[in-house]
Amino acid sequence: MHGVGVFSSLQKDPEMSVEVVVKNSCQSIGEGPHWDDRTNSLLYVDILSNDVHRWSPDTGNDEKIHLDDSVGFVVPCRKGGYIVGLGRSLSHVDWDSRKITKLHEVDKGTKNRFNDGKCDPRGRVWAGTMGYESEPANPERERGSLFRLDVDGSLHACVNKINISNGLAWTADNKTMYYIDSLPRKVYGFDYDSETGNISNQRVVVDFGEGTIPTLGYPDGMCIDTEDKIWVACYGAAKIVRFDPTTGKQLKTVDIPARRTTSCCFGGKNFDELYVTCGVQGSTKEEREKYPMTGSVFRVTGLGVRGRPANVYEG
C-alpha cells in the first residue's frame, strides 16, 4: 500500500515526514527490517506469527511466507535465498520453493529463540538469542548469546549471558561494532576485527539511564548512517532516536505513531528513507485505539541523512 497516512504534523522538523507504507501488516512483533537494494524491496519479519515479509514500493505488494516457528530476522544470501533465525535454528530459506535447510541449532534444551540478526561488512551473519518471554520485555534473564555465522558455515558464540539480543551496526571504518542488549537498556561498543570477525573491549556507548523508561523505553533494533551516528528504536516510547555513540548524546528524535517501535533501517534508491517496524503483542485495546497503525511499517523521509547499503551473507 502506498502512503496510507502521513503523520508529518507529529514532527518538530518541517522537512521530516512519517507515513504508513504497509498498513497493519504485523499481528505479533514486526521486526528486522532489511532493505534489499538488489530487488528494491523491504524484507521484515512478524516474529511470533512465523512470517517473513517482502514489500515492494514499486508495486505496493507485500508478499509473505509462513514458516513453522518464530522468525527473529531475515537477511539475503549472495548465492540466493535468505538466512533466517527460525526458533533456535539458523536456517536457509528458498523463497520460491519454500525449502527450509537447517544450518545450526543452538541453546538445545531451552525455550530460547533467535531474535535480531544482521550481516557484518565481510558478509558474516551475527544473530542473538533470548530466553522465553512470558510478556514483552520480560524474558528469562541472561539466557541468550550472540552468535557469528562465518562464510565457511561455522558458528561461533561470541557473547554470553544476554537478556534480549538486539540491534547491531558497524562503523564505516570497520573497526567498531555496536550491539544492544535491551534489558540493561544499553548500547555497547566493541573493537571489531573485520579480517577475523573477533570482537573485544566491550564498553557502554549509550546508557538509557535510570528513570527514562517513560521517555525512552527500551533500546531495540538499530541502524547506522553514513556519519556513523546510530538510530535506535525505543520500544514502548513511540520513537526512533539518533544518538552520537562517541558521546552518548541524543541528536534527534523521530516520533512514530505506534508505541512499540522495534527496529529501523535505511532504504530507498538513495538510502535516505528510514523504514520502521513495530510490535502489536502486549498492546491494550486503548493503546490500539490511540495508535491505530500499530503493527504497520512506516517510512520516514526528509531526515537529511542517509545510510549505507545493507550487507548480505557471503557464505
Please report, in range form, the residues annotated as the binding site for substrate: 113, 115, 133
Task: List the binding residues for a divalent metal cation.
Answer: 31, 166, 220
- Residues belonging to the active site: 220
What is the secondary structure of the chain as a DSSP string?
Answer: ----EE-GGG-SSTT-EEEEEETT--SSBEEEEEEETTTTEEEEEEGGGTEEEEE-TTT--EEEEE-SS-EEEEEEBTTSSEEEEETTEEEEE-TTT--EEEEEE-STTS--EEEEEEE-TTS-EEEEEE--EEETTEEPTT-EEEEEE-TTS-EEEEEEEESBEEEEEE-TTS-EEEEEETTTTEEEEEEE-TTT--EEEEEEEEE--TT-HHHH-EEEEEEEBTTS-EEEEEETTTEEEEEETTTTEEEEEEE-SSSBEEEEEEESTTS-EEEEEEB-TT--HHHHHH-TTTT-EEEEE--S--B-PPP-B--
Contacts of 143 (CB under 8 A, 6+ apart): 107, 110, 112, 129, 130, 131, 132, 162, 163
Alpha carbons 254 and 300: distance in angstroms, whole number:
8
- For strands 41-46 and 30-36, give the pairing: antiparallel
For the chain, the C-alpha Rg in angstroms (whole number) is 18
Please state, as a whole number, how many other Cβ atoms lie within 10 Å of the Cβ of residue 60.
12
